[in-house]
Amino acid sequence: EDQVTQSPEALRLQEGESSSLNCSYTVSGLRGLFWYRQDPGKGPEFLFTLYSAGEEKEKERLKATLTKKESFLHITAPKPEDSATYLCAVHPGRRALTFGSGTRLQVQP
């Protein structure tokens, strides 16, 4: 059975304090790993897609990396506006995503 586990469940950072979120997965035939950001009361917003181990993608203060067992979302010098829930999902070759339960990030000024 496909599984996605995200850690930590919640993370509180001071502004400028860099950290990483983890997404470990067990899936047969990974066709893509996705990172989304979700603000309270809103739908998930796409951040990155990673297709193969060793791949990295960056956007502003965020950088996503992928290995054969896990993905990391690195947040460099975060700002309060980076506060959100970050969701990881895998596409295992069937027709839909399998999501983790997310990491709630709070960045304090």
Partner 1 sequence: NAGVTQTPKFRVLKTGQSMTLLCAQDMNHEYMYWYRQDPGMGLRLIHYSVGEGTTAKGEVPDGYNVSRLKKQNFLLGLESAAPSQTSVYFCASRLGKGPTVETQYFGPGTRLLVL
Q: Which residues would be at the binding site for partner 1 (CB under 8 A)?
A: 4, 31-32, 34, 36, 41-46, 49, 51, 87, 89, 91, 95-97, 99-102
Q: Which is nearer to partner 1, 65 or 103 (CB)?
A: 103
Q: How far is the CB of 16 from partner 1 (least distance, A)?
A: 30
Q: How far is the CB of 34 from partner 1 (least distance, A)?
A: 7
Residue 22: strand, helix, or coil: strand
Virtual CA dihedral for 72, 61, 100, 10, nearest 10 degrees?
Answer: 100
Q: How far is the CB of 20 from partner 1 (least distance, A)?
A: 20
Q: How far is the CB of 107 from partner 1 (least distance, A)?
A: 22
Q: Which is nearer to partner 1, 49 or 83 (CB)?
A: 49
Residue 53 CA from chain centroid, whole number:
15
Q: Compute the distance between CA of residue 94 and CA of residue 54 in angstroms, rounded to an integer.
A: 23
Q: Which residue, among 59, 39, 55, 56, has the nearest Cα to 47 in the 3D structure? A: 59
